[in-house]
């Protein structure tokens, strides 16, 4: 039993090898990417609040391309941010099963029992694209694939890296809402402390999935299914 538990929580060996190659430059680039993301999301919220223009899809695509560009300019492989065929079949199966179970349990079955009204088919299709690609894939690429791994160049402790990245991941959700509702940072944090804590918890789970397979595939699928809990019903 003890050996089975150890195997469940054991990281993929490729992950352990890859994170040792990063240096302080990679670590600084990780922080730099986060700052770019944070500022961009604030202006995204401000633009939506003042002009009623939402450019979230475009911004996230640009952030994903920026992340890949940094990887290429550093002479690193795209697989180093978890975009890989490594254990592909297993990562897809695990992501589909766990994600679907979460969606069924937390949204589909409760929604049917409560008699909630379904979203139109085209709306559901759009939300699948939005939650799986624009949100799930991009956030897993940027935070678990890039920031989580590259911070090892500055912080030489796995638990500390995970905690710091978790704080960054939770903080990333602040600026858009802060600008949208014209709130100060500490005001938003105090009013949404439980939400921010839950985001940190989800980061821990996504990191576990990333380290388990050294891939963003499982995390992206689970992330998408999780967010789709808000996409099936009106």
Q: 1 pLDDT band (50/70/90 cuts)?
A: low
User: In this predicted structure, what is the pLDDT of residue 113?
Assistant: 96
Give the whole-number percent of the chain exceeding pLDDT 90.
87
Q: Which residues pair with 233 in a beta bridge?
A: 118
C-alpha separations of 143 from 15, 90, 210 in Å: 15, 22, 10
User: In this predicted structure, what is the pLDDT of residue 186?
Assistant: 85
User: In this predicted structure, what is the pLDDT of residue 190?
Assistant: 87
Mean pLDDT of 153-166: 96
User: In this predicted structure, what is the pLDDT of residue 185?
Assistant: 83
Mean pLDDT of 199-219: 97
Per residue in 65-118, pLDDT (tens digit) is 999 999 999 999 999 999 999 999 999 999 999 999 999 999 999 999 999 999
* pLDDT of 4 over the 60 cut: no
Mean pLDDT of 222-227: 98
Q: 2 pLDDT band (50/70/90 cuts)?
A: low
* pLDDT of 7 over the 80 cut: no
Mean pLDDT of 180-208: 91
Asked if 51 and 129 count as a contact pair (C-beta separation under 8 A), the reply is no
* pLDDT of 192 over the 60 cut: yes
How much is the mean pLDDT over the chain? 94
Per residue in 9-18, pLDDT (tens digit) is 678 889 999 9
Q: 234 pLDDT band (50/70/90 cuts)?
A: very high
Asked if 82 and 145 count as a contact pair (C-beta separation under 8 A), the reply is yes
Residue in the structure block whose two tokens are 């911004």? 59
Mean pLDDT of 164-175: 96
* Dihedral, 101, 106, 107, 110 alpha carbons, nearest 10: 110
Distance of alpha carbon 215 from the chain centroid: 13
DSSP string, the chain: -HHHHHHHHPPPHHHHHHGGG--HHHHHHHHHHHHHHHHHHHHHHHHHHHH----HHHHHHHHHHHHHHHHHHTT--GGGGT-S-TTHHHHHHHHHHHHHHHHIIIIIHHHHHHTPPBPPHHHHHHHHHIIIIIIIIHHIIIIIIIIHHHGGGT---HHHHHHHHHHHHHHTTHHHHHHHTT--HHHHHHHTHHHHHHHHHHHHHHHHHHHHHTSSHHHHHHHHHHHGGGTSB-
């Amino acid at each position: 039993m003890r050996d089975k538990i150890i195997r469940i929580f054991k990281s993929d060996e490729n992950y352990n090898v890859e994170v040792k190659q990063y240096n302080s430059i990679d670590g600084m680039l990780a922080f730099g990417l986060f700052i770019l993301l944070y500022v961009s999301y604030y202006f995204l919220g401000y633009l939506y609040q003042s002009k009623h223009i939402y450019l979230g899809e475009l911004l996230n695509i640009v952030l994903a391309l920026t992340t890949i560009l940094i990887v290429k300019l550093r002479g690193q492989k795209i697989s180093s941010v978890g975009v890989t065929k490594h254990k592909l079949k297993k990562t897809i199966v695990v992501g589909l099963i766990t994600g679907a179970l979460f969606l069924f349990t937390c949204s589909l079955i409760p929604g049917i029992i409560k008699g909630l009204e379904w979203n139109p088919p085209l709306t559901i299709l759009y939300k699948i694209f939005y939650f799986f690609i624009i949100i799930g894939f991009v956030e897993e690429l940027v935070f678990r694939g890039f920031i989580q791994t590259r911070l090892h160049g500055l912080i030489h402790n796995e638990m500390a890296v995970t905690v710091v990245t978790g704080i960054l991941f939770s903080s990333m959700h602040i600026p858009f809402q802060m600008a949208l509702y014209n709130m100060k940072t500490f005001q938003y944090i105090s009013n949404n402390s439980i939400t921010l804590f839950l985001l940190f918890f989800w980061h821990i789970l996504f990191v576990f999935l990333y380290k388990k397979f050294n891939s963003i595939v499982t995390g992206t699928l689970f992330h998408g299914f999780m967010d789709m809990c808000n996409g099936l019903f009106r």
